[in-house]
């Protein structure tokens, strides 16, 4: 046997969801569930933010629509003591109410009346306040940068945690365009911060269910829980990277619901997968308690923290970022003054972007994707929290 084939075969053998030779896409046979079931996504927010629920329906695997919103429902938050707060319908399955003032020690539930006449309630849940996040820390190694969260609850009463985060990062285009061509007035204008196209920001929300528990520890401490990893060379750390984390404290039932959902959808593909299983939601149809409902309603006061990693001075050495425009062929050219309307018409997106003026007559232009960072998907509006 050739020596080179040995590693290959062993990798294959030990393949745990990463080796392409042993992992192939699979298209399941066409299956159909008996109906489209209600999905409730959100939580009762006892903090300063709004309470937002997204109601949708399950869909068949073969359906092409991404989300089938549940429209025109009536949604309430109710306390066990009889107080009722109605959420406003913001359309597209979104129901929200600004800041709720929840009573400590009181329990709350969600109550939904669908347009189809079905009535759903969740169980009454206590309001759990998350302890503050002690710190967000990051560490660079050969694979990239890992961000972790640290927290503790001196009262030892939180125990079960969930996190969600939003990543935002700044990236830059190849050329900095100081001027724009005002097509209407046929003149050069200086770009200000609101229409600069050199720096852009992109955001991405967490998609994984991030859960941690200190239930097995003698103190209610979470240290170094890994939230996310940014692989080496990623654009996210090409300039400045920010991570905003929301921390939830959960009841044990909520924790086991999310944990099971995570095991069923995220931790698959090992040699020893558990059977897929369904943990019942705390929501049910009042008329038919056997009807499946998805989602778990909790009431929580979150705590938040934000982390910045400023990598533009090479804080993480040898990051290895290859700019997205590296193979765009970004060269600039000088065009005669009378060609400017041809190259930069007043339509968006432009083919070219004006980057400057030469010492002689004419203009210097470059393909728009090399100078206009918005064409790479971000926004040129600097977030207000950005340094």
Partner 1 sequence: MNQLLRTCSTVPLFLLCLVASAQQGRSLSIHLDNEPFARFVEQAESQCGCRFYYDPQELDSLRVSIQVDGAGIREALDQALRDTPFRYAGDSLGHIFITRSYPIATTLPGDFFRYRTGSRDSASGPFAEAGNSGKPARTANEENKLYEIGTRSNELKGGNATLAGYVRDIRTGEAIAGAAISVDQPPVGTVTDQFGYFSLTLPRGRHQLRISSIGMQETRRQIALYGDGKLSIEMHDYVPSLKAVVVVSDRVSGVRGVQMGVEKINIGTIKQIPVVFGEADVIRAVLTLPGVTTVGEASTGFNVRGGSTDQNLILFNDATIYNPSHLFGFFSSFNPDVISDIELYKSSIPEKYGGRISSVLDVTTRSGNKKKFSGVGGIGPLTSKLTLEGPLGSDKTTFILGARTTYSDWILKNIKNQAYRHSSAGFSDLDLHLTHEFNGKNTLYFTAYASNDRFRLNSDTSYRYVNRNTNLKWKHIFNNKLYGVLLGGYDYYRYRVASENNGLNAYQLSFDISQVNLRADFTYTPSPRHNLDFGIQSTLYKLHPGSYQPNGPQSLVSPDVVRAEQGLENALYLGDRLDLSQRFSVTGGLRYSLFGYLGPQAVNRYAPGLPRTEFNVVDTAYYGSGHFIKTYQGPEIRLSGRYSLSGSSSVKLSFNTLRQYIHMLSNTTAISPTDIWKLSDPNIHPQAGQQVSLGYYQNFRSNSIETSVEVYYKTLQHYLDYKSGAQLVLNHHIETDVINTSGYAYGVELMVKKKSGKLNGWVSYAYSRTLVKQDDPIAGELINGGKYYPANFDKPHVANLVGNYRFSHRFSISLDMTYSTGRPITLPIAVYYLAGSQRLYYSDRNQFRIPDYFRTDFSMNIDGNHKVKKLTHNAWSLGVYNITGRRNPYSVYFVEENGVVHGYKLSIFGSAIPFITYNFRF
Which of 16, 315, 322, 326 lies at the binding interface for partner 1 (CB under 8 A)?
16
Q: Compute the C-alpha angle 314/318/319, nearest 5°.
A: 75
Instruction: Give yes or no for residue 381 binding partner 1 (CB under 8 A).
Output: no
Nearer to partner 1, 26 or 348 (CB): 26
| CB 325 to partner 1: min, Å | 23
When computed from its CA atoms, the radius of gyration of the chain, rounded to whole angstroms, is 26
Q: How many residues does the chain have?
A: 387
Name the one range near partner 1 by CB under 8 A: 81-89, 174-182, 214-222, 334-342: 214-222
| Residue partners of 380: CB distance under 8 A and separation at least 6 | 194, 195, 196, 197, 199, 200, 201, 373, 374
Element (H, E) at 252: helix 252-265
Rounded to an integer, what distance in angstroms lies between the CA atom of residue 344 and that of residue 337?
Answer: 12
Q: Which is nearer to partner 1, 25 or 360 (CB)?
A: 25
CA 10, chain centre distance (Å):
36
Write out the binding residues for partner 1, residues 35-54 only, by CB under 8 A: 36-37, 39, 41, 54
278 near partner 1, rule: CB under 8 A: yes
Q: How far is the CB of 196 from partner 1 (least distance, A)?
A: 30
Is 341 a binding residue for partner 1 by CB under 8 A? The answer is: no
Report the residue from 52, 71, 83, 279 that binds partner 1 according to the rule CB under 8 A: 279
- What Å distances lie between residue 286 and 71, 118, 221, 283, CA to CA? 19, 8, 39, 9
Question: What are the tokens at 42?
Answer: 């959100």
Please, what is the minimum distance in Å from the beta carbon of residue 13 to partner 1? Answer: 6
Based on the shown chain and the rule CB under 8 A, indicate whether residue 219 belongs to the binding site for partner 1.
yes
Candidate residues 91, 132, 224, 377; the one interacting with partner 1 per rule CB under 8 A: 224
Give, as ranges, the residues between 140 and 159 that touch partner 1 (CB under 8 A): 142-143
Residue 274 contacts partner 1 per CB under 8 A: yes
- Return the residue of 52, 126, 146, 223 that touches partner 1, per CB under 8 A: 223
Residues 236/167, Cβ–Cβ less than 8 Å: yes
Asked whether position 269 contacts partner 1 by CB under 8 A, the answer is yes
Question: Before 349, cis peptide (omega within 30)?
Answer: yes
């Amino acid at each position: 046997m050739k020596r080179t084939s040995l590693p290959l075969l062993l990798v294959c053998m030990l393949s745990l969801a990463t080796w392409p030779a042993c992992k192939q896409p699979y298209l399941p046979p066409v299956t159909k569930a008996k109906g489209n079931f209600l999905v409730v996504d959100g939580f009762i927010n006892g903090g300063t933010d709004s309470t937002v629920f997204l109601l949708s329906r399950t869909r068949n695997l073969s359906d092409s629509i991404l989300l089938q919103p549940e429209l025109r429902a009536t949604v309430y938050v109710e306390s066990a003591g009889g107080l009722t707060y109605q959420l406003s319908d913001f359309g597209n399955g979104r129901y929200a109410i600004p800041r709720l003032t929840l009573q400590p020690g009181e329990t709350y539930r969600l109550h939904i009346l669908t347009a189809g006449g079905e009535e759903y309630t969740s169980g009454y849940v206590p309001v759990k306040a998350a302890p503050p996040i002690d710190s967000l820390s990051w560490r660079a190694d050969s694979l990239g940068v890992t961000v972790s969260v640290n927290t503790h609850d001196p009262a030892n009463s939180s125990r079960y945690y969930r996190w969600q985060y939003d990543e935002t990062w700044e990236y830059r285009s190849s050329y900095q365009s100081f001027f724009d061509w005002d097509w209407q007035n046929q003149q050069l204008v200086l770009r200000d911060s609101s229409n600069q196209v050199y720096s852009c920001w992109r955001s991405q929300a967490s998609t994984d269910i991030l859960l941690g528990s200190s239930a097995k520890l003698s103190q209610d401490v979470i240290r170094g829980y890994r939230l996310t990893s940014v692989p080496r060379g990623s654009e996210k750390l090409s300039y400045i990277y920010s991570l905003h984390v929301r921390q939830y404290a959960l009841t044990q039932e909520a924790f086991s619901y999310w944990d099971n959902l995570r095991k069923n959808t995220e931790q698959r593909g090992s040699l020893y997968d558990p059977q897929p299983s369904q943990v019942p939601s705390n929501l049910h149809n009042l008329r038919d308690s056997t009807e499946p409902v998805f989602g778990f309603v909790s009431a929580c006061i979150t705590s938040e923290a934000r982390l910045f990693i400023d990598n533009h001075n090479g804080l993480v050495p040898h990051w290895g970022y290859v700019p997205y425009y590296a193979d765009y062929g970004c060269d600039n050219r000088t065009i005669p003054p009378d060609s400017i309307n041809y190259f930069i018409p007043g339509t968006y997106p432009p083919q070219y972007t004006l980057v400057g003026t030469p010492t002689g007559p004419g203009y210097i232009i470059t393909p728009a994707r090399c100078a206009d960072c918005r064409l790479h998907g971000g926004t040129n509006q600097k977030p207000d929290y950005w340094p």
